[in-house]
């Protein structure tokens, strides 16, 4: 029997003793359930899966991994779109989906305390009877978990006005990479000292695993009004978006879909968007009734000034939900018109929307690869859906080329390679397009401070992992991780 096999059996026995045999999965077929997250183009079957029921069990799993010098990866609902929860073939996948208790709803403190497996929308459902809600709203909010949202610093349609997850998390309990349980932040805002909580939110599981999260609740608005504006082109819709923000109006959300995305949504959910639209904007305002009424009239005028050929105003919650149904279903809907697709997540200044969207159209034509655009127009967070058929020779490669060119385009316009999906496995190779070697070394010094053994979600975020204790600076020769076949330099 090989040493590796013996070590795995010993770790399996240790985990079963720590959290119970029914919470450890070792059967190969069952393990395949966890081979990827929402980005299915990357697949790795983990050596083991652990399903802790609480923070103590999660810490016990991490300590067992540390004792066995075995890497571990945290996973929530598995809806991530960057390969951030991709398992390690020789590691343990720690799934927090069974830690799903809402521990406290405290409207008087504008707070809720939840375990990491709690579904995003469940927080709002629990808070709504008290007149409050949880503002971050990823499109997958019906199934994504708070722990995953914290790991990726998730956004959503309403982040234009309300900000990302980091703006709504005031405290966490986490299991550090050495197995210790640590608290960052707390119930009171603005804790003194270094902002370690800010570093943790969005760290993609490389600095530890959240086991309890204190989130900020937001008062339900007095008034909500939503419109759907149809334009002949994305240029016109982009110009309308810039005009709205320039006028001093900050809507709760401004979302755009192009003709191909509209077609997919119609086929999937029959949302009834205006026929012949080259682009639609969904604009939502919320707040005090007098303010919303005045700003809404202004938004309608600005859309008309920018040549909207049809404007629909939601008469009630049912019609408002129908407007949003097409947008929220867009990612899944493209499966109706393409067997395979890549979801991208770049960011640009919103004033660059017309030029960038035109160039994406040119890239699509040059490579013979369709691209559907659906995105948070208000803050320039693009989600191009690059469509292809993996069964056709050369299409996968062309789609990946277009996908990479779109990220280069975002960076060249002063933007970013990711807005809310994270870097994960998928975008690690693009990090040097945005950051210098010194930048990346500095980031990895922080990672090494939390995780000197390099066991927490290895191989993610950075293109070539530095060795903790390695002297920062430009390297000469082959990196030891490359030589061992554990990493690739781009």
Last residue in a domain, options 286, 311, 335:
335
Here the tokens at position 19 are: 């959290």
Same domain as 238, residue 282: yes
Q: Which residues, other chains included, contact 150 with Cβ-Cβ below 8 Å and sequence gap of 6+?
A: 116, 165, 169, 172, 200, 201, 202, 210, 213
* 489 lies in some domain: no
For the residues 221-244, what does the mean pLDDT come to? 96
Question: Does 290 share its domain with 238?
Answer: yes
CA distance 245 to 242: 5
Phi, psi of 372 (to 5 degrees): -100, 135
Q: How far apart are CA 176 and CA 469, in angstroms?
A: 19
Strand partners, 40: none
Query: What's the CA gap between 182 and 358, in Å, rounded?
Result: 48
Strand, helix or coil for residue 422: coil
158 with 328: CB under 8 angstroms? no
Whether residue 122 is predicted with pLDDT greater than 50 in this model: the reply is yes
Structural domain contains residue 326: yes
Residues linked to residue 343 through DSSP beta bridges, in sequence order: 385
Long-range contacts from 442-445, C-beta under 8 angstroms, 24+ separation:
442/472, 445/472
267 shares a domain with 328: yes
Bridge partners for 375 per DSSP: 256
Domain boundary among 335, 350, 384: 335
Burial profile 7-30: b = 16 or more Cβ within 10 angstroms, e = fewer: ebeebbebbbebbeeebbbbeeee
Pick 490 or 114 by higher pLDDT: 114
Q: What is the pLDDT of residue 178?
A: 97
Place of tokens 């299915």: 40
Supply the pLDDT for residue 237: 96
Supply the range of the domain harboring residue 263: 221-335
Helix axes 289-305, 234-246, angle to 10 degrees: 140
For the chain, give the percent of residues with pLDDT over 70: 93
> Domain with 352 in it: what CATH number?
3.30.70.2740
pLDDT tens track for 453-480: 999 999 999 997 655 655 444 444 444 4
Q: 40: pLDDT confidence band, cut at 50, 70 and 90?
A: confident
Bridge partners (DSSP) of residue 223 are 287
CA-to-CA distance for 99 and 115, rounded, in angstroms? 6
Total domains in the chain come to 4
- Order of strands, edge to edge, in the sheet holding 209-216? 102-106, 111-114, 209-216, 169-175, 181-185
DSSP state of 470: P
Segments of 307-437 assigned E as strands: 310-313, 340-343, 346-347, 371-376, 381-382, 384-388
One domain, residues 215 and 232: no
CA 417 to chain CA mean position, Å: 12
For residue 352, name the pLDDT band (cuts at 50, 70, 90). Answer: very high
What is the predicted pLDDT for the residue at 467?
A: 54
What's the pLDDT at 11?
Answer: 97
The pLDDT > 90 percentage for the chain reads 87
Q: Which residues of 318-346 are buried (b: 16+ CB within 10 A; e: fewer)?
A: eebebbbbbbbbbbebbeebbebbbbbbb
* Per-residue pLDDT, 399: 96
Q: Which residue has the higher pLDDT, 307 or 190?
A: 307
Domain end among 219, 234, 255: 219
Do 465 and 487 form a contact (C-beta atoms < 8 A)? yes
What are 298-351's pLDDT values in tens digits? 999 999 999 999 999 999 999 999 999 999 888 888 989 999 999 999 999 988
Q: What is the mean pLDDT of residues 88-109?
A: 97
CA angle 302, 306, 309 (to 5 degrees): 100
Task: Please write the tens of the pLDDT for every residue from 194-232.
Answer: 999 999 999 999 999 999 999 999 999 999 999 999 999
181, with CB counted inside 10 A (0-12, 13-18, 19+), is middle
CATH of the domain at 52: 3.30.43.10
Is 312 contained in some domain? yes
End-to-end CA distance of the chain: 37
At residue 488, the pLDDT reads: 45
CA distance 241 to 490: 37
- Please tell me whether residues 242 and 342 are part of one structural domain: no
Does residue 117 sit in the same domain as residue 192?
yes
CA 146, chain centre distance (Å): 11
Q: In 3-state terms, what secondary structure has residue 394? A: coil
Task: Tell the burial category of 291 from Cβ atoms under 10 Å away from its Cβ (0-12, 13-18, 19+).
Answer: middle
pLDDT beyond 70 at 185: yes
- Please give the residue that has the higher pLDDT: either 332 or 113: 113
Q: Is residue 477 part of a domain?
A: no
Question: Does 430 share its domain with 376?
Answer: yes
Residue where the block lists tokens 């959300």: 253
């Amino acid at each position: 029997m090989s040493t590796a096999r013996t070590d795995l059996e010993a770790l399996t026995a240790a985990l079963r003793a720590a959290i119970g045999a029914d919470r450890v999965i070792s059967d190969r077929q069952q393990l395949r359930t966890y081979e990827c997250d929402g980005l299915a183009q990357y697949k790795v079957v983990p050596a083991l899966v652990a399903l802790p029921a609480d923070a103590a069990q999660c810490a016990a799993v991490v300590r067992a991994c540390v004792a066995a010098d075995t890497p571990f990866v945290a996973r929530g609902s598995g809806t991530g779109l960057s390969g951030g929860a991709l398992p390690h073939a020789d590691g343990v996948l720690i799934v927090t989906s069974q830690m799903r208790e809402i521990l406290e709803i405290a409207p008087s403190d504008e707070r809720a305390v939840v375990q990491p497996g709690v579904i995003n929308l469940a927080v709002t459902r629990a808070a709504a009877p008290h007149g409050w809600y949880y503002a971050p709203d990823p499109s997958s909010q019906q199934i994504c978990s708070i722990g995953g949202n914290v790991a990726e610093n998730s956004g959503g349609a309403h982040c234009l006005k309300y900000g990302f997850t980091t703006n709504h998390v005031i405290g966490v309990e986490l299991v550090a990479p050495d197995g210790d349980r640590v608290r960052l932040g707390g119930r009171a805002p603005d804790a003194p000292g270094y902002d370690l909580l800010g570093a943790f939110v969005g760290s993609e599981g490389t600095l530890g695993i959240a086991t309890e999260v204190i989130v900020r609740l937001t008062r339900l608005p007095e008034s909500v009004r939503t419109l759907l504006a149809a334009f002949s082109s994305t240029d016109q819709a982009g110009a309308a978006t810039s005009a709205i923000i320039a006028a001093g109006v900050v809507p709760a959300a401004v979302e755009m879909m192009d003709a191909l995305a509209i077609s997919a949504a119609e086929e999937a959910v029959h949302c009834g968007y205006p026929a012949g639209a080259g682009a639609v904007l969904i604009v939502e305002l919320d707040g005090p009734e007098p303010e919303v009424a005045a700003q809404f009239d202004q938004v309608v005028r600005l859309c008309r000034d920018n040549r909207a050929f049809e404007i629909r105003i939601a008469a009630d919650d049912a019609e408002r939900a129908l407007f949003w149904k097409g947008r929220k279903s867009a990612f899944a809907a493209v499966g109706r018109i393409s067997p395979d697709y890549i979801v991208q997540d770049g960011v640009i200044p919103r004033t660059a929307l017309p030029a960038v969207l035109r160039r994406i159209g040119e890239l699509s034509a040059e490579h013979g690869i369709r691209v559907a655009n659906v995105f948070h127009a208000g803050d320039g967070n693009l989600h191009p859906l690059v469509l292809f058929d993996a069964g056709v020779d050369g299409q996968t490669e062309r789609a990946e080329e277009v996908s990479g060119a779109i990220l280069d385009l975002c960076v060249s316009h002063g933007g970013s390679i990711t807005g809310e999906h994270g870097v994960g496995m998928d975008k690690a190779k693009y990090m040097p397009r945005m950051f210098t070697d010194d930048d990346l070394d500095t980031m990895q010094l922080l990672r090494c401070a939390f995780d000197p053994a390099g066991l927490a979600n290895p191989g993610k975020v950075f293109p070539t992992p530095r060795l903790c204790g390695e002297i920062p600076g430009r390297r000469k020769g082959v990196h030891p991780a490359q030589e061992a076949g554990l990493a690739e330099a781009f």
